[in-house]
A and B are shown apart, each in its own frame.
Chain A
């Protein structure tokens, strides 16, 4: 079965506000990655956080990882209309070989 869940499924905020998305997963992982996808387009890699890391920053993005709770969060600060997209977490873990499994995604709408 596929790996994880994200919440909220959809999020609508005003430009300038912060957006927080959460991701939960099921297995032990090597790392967790966050991606962005504009409607009908490919994936854009945002940030990778290793299983031995707890927090990571990249520009307006802040990612946390809690391996005890098997969860991660993505915070986008000072959101812009251009941030409107779907956001997915994906976990890398080992079964008989590597697996890369996506969460269900959060659709973010930033209103100008």
Chain B
């Protein structure tokens, strides 16, 4: 199985400041079709996960443009340009390039 490792596990951030979460996979996520199926999910307290970013850098419908994704191969990053109160929650990277699909352990974003 592909292991997804996120850092940091906890990120206290000041409102209006940027935040960054890293995700590393144990092997390349480039699929045989040439695409890289690395997604980012947000899970607010008491809610199901919500798709933010798909295929490394594509924002899903309704996702604010303060969220952005980047990376390639085995190293990926989610950035929030200016953190807002509604961004509090846990963020997960997940890979869909190889079965079984796997998730990172999650990064808890909290406000200082």
A and B: real partners?
A: no
Seen from chain B, the residues whose Cβ lies within 8 Å of a Cβ on chain A are none
Seen from chain A, the residues whose Cβ lies within 8 Å of a Cβ on chain B are none
